[in-house]
């Protein structure tokens, strides 16, 4: 009788243990800033070796879906991220490659008159600056904008860890803040930018002023959209390790959005060099 009772107790304990809900495995998202073109300190082989260390289940790429075949193979393999990701998937076929870019971004910018007004506007500001035609305040804005790029050039010449950290993110954020928030304080007030026009593909005119402002606004829209796309993919792949490869100037914005969007979710944001 005692033996039967003991067996019953053991059985109940065993069943109870089996019924205890195990904690769900966290989804890991690693946002890695990259440089698209090969340079001595960063190329596809260096990136491939990093992927080998991280061992992702998914690699998200800064591409439109049109750059993929229906079964998510890359149509063209040219830049660092694409070469490394393609090589990694060839070695580990179970790895998924997915796009997370704002769909049709390049044509969207052209159709809406952001390009080439963006470069033409900055070229005109630079010309006014060099000819001392800007006000003191305007000149200080443009001077700070130009100087903000210098420390980024320094870290970009170092190993990837140097542009994938909070200090680098702050430097990128400052530079982009001046490009998209402060430069418009010049272009939105001076007549030179309201009196010069470009013709959009649909035949409509757009001023340098309006084209540049649209481009500045698109910086927010694009990064916010990319972060939402990353979240959508992560929700569809819970418990997986996801590497997001983006130009390192985007990293700060995407991370800022992901920190907000992942709040109270079982998602961990990590650096590629964290174990």
For residue 209, which phi and psi values (nearest 5 degrees)? -60, -55
116 preceded by cis ω (within 30°)?
Answer: yes
Top-level CATH class of 27-105+224-270? alpha beta
Residue 40: CB atoms within 10 A of its CB come to 7
Tens-place pLDDT, residues 36-81: 999 999 999 999 999 999 999 999 999 999 999 999 999 999 999 9
Burial 178-193 (b: 16+ CB within 10 A, else e): bbbebbbebbeebebb
Closest CA to 249 of 222, 270, 231: 222
Q: Could you tell me the residue ranges of all domains in the chain?
A: 27-105+224-270, 120-219
* pTM: predicted TM-score of the whole model, two decimal places: 0.90
Between 134-138, 251-255, 271-275, the lowest mean confidence (pLDDT) is in 271-275
Residue 256: CB atoms within 10 A of its CB come to 15
Tens-place pLDDT, residues 243-272: 999 999 999 999 999 999 999 999 999 999
Q: Is 173 exposed, middle or buried (0-12, 13-18, 19+ CB in 10 A)?
A: middle
Tens-place pLDDT, residues 165-179: 999 999 999 999 999
Q: How far apart are CA 194 and CA 180, in angstroms?
A: 17
Q: How far apart are CA 63 and CA 102, in angstroms?
A: 8
Which residues does residue 96 pair with via DSSP β-bridges, in sequence order?
58
């Amino acid at each position: 009788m005692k033996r039967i009772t003991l067996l019953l107790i053991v059985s109940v304990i065993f069943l109870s243990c089996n019924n205890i809900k195990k904690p769900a495995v966290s989804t890991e998202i690693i946002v890695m800033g990259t440089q698209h073109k090969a340079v001595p300190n960063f190329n596809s082989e260096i990136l491939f070796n990093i992927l080998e260390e991280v061992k992702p289940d998914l690699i998200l790429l800064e591409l439109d879906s049109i750059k993929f075949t229906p079964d998510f193979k890359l149509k063209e393999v040219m830049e660092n991220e694409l070469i490394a990701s393609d090589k990694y998937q060839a070695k580990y076929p179970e790895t998924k490659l997915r796009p997370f870019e704002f769909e049709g971004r390049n044509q969207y910018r052209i159709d809406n008159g952001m390009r080439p007004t963006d470069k033409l506007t900055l070229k005109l500001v630079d010309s006014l600056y060099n000819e001392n035609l800007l006000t003191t305040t305007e000149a200080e804005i443009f001077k700070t904008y130009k100087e903000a790029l210098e420390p980024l050039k320094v870290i970009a010449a170092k190993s990837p860890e140097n542009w994938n950290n909070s200090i680098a993110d702050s430097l990128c954020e400052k530079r982009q803040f001046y490009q998209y928030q402060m430069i418009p304080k010049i272009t939105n007030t001076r007549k030179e930018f309201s009196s010069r026009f470009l013709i959009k593909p649909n035949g409509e005119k757009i001023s340098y002023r309006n084209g540049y402002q649209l481009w500045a606004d698109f910086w927010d829209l694009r990064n916010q959209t990319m972060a939402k796309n990353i979240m959508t993919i992560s929700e569809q792949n819970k418990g997986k390790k996801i590497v997001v490869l983006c130009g390192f100037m985007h990293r700060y914005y995407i991370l800022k959005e992901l920190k907000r969007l992942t709040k109270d979710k079982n998602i961990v944001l990590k650096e590629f060099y964290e174990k």
